[in-house]
Structure 1
Amino acid sequence: MARLGPLLAFLALYAAMYAAFGTASPFWPRYFEARGLTPEELGVLFGLGNAARLIAGPLANRIADLLGALRITLAVCIGIAAAATLGLAAVRCARRKGVGEGCDRCQPEASFFCWSSIWPSQPRAGF
């Protein structure tokens, strides 16, 4: 199989990314509204996502170029994303149960974190 040139690979990547975004984005407002977000909060959420991409991309590239460590920088970015995801789950659990109370489906020693905030056992109304 022939390899794509760098320009064609770049164009294919962005075409796939924007196709996925264009397919999912019409459903996001209804999805988040079903989870209690107001239209204003939804606008802030989407705006913060774009702002984070505008800042993080060039910043990570600059750090990787200065250090000469592309793979290490990429691994650190993946670690930060994973930590943010786990932190979001912990905040959702704390918001739902009250700070410091933990969740009734969590282990007592891990009451600060709850997977049930990501995968609830009871179906929700809406999406």
Structure 2
Amino acid sequence: MYLSYYSCTQGLFHEDFDEEDVAGMGWERTVKFDVFRLDEEGKKWVELTDLGERVLFLGDDCAFSASAKDLNLGRGNCVVFRDDGLGFNRVLNGMGVFCLDDGKISPLSECAGFSELFCPPPDWVGLQ
């Protein structure tokens, strides 16, 4: 599990890794995201269960959110992320989409509209 701060909406997210998968396969596998926003007045983190029509993008060295409507995507409430630990059969180029609606992770290539955003991959993906 790790924590990361993103400034676009003053939020916090963390990923949970299944330790059995790490021990059994020799690599980490992202199993979910928890998304938080900072309540500056109350000085506490508040968990978000819905991003509305926003899409949160997580790269190696940056994070930002964007409107699904502005990107011509059919849906929001998703986290698009890079994760080399997902394995060669799970995602194309180590990129996935986590849907907060149902808690499922899918390869970017299986998410209509999302894969078209990354051809060719943008710099924030950090592919070498």
TM over 0.5: no
With the length of structure 1 as denominator, give the TM-score of the two structures: 0.24
Query: Normalised by the size of structure 2, how large is the TM-score?
Result: 0.24
- Larger proportion of helix: 1
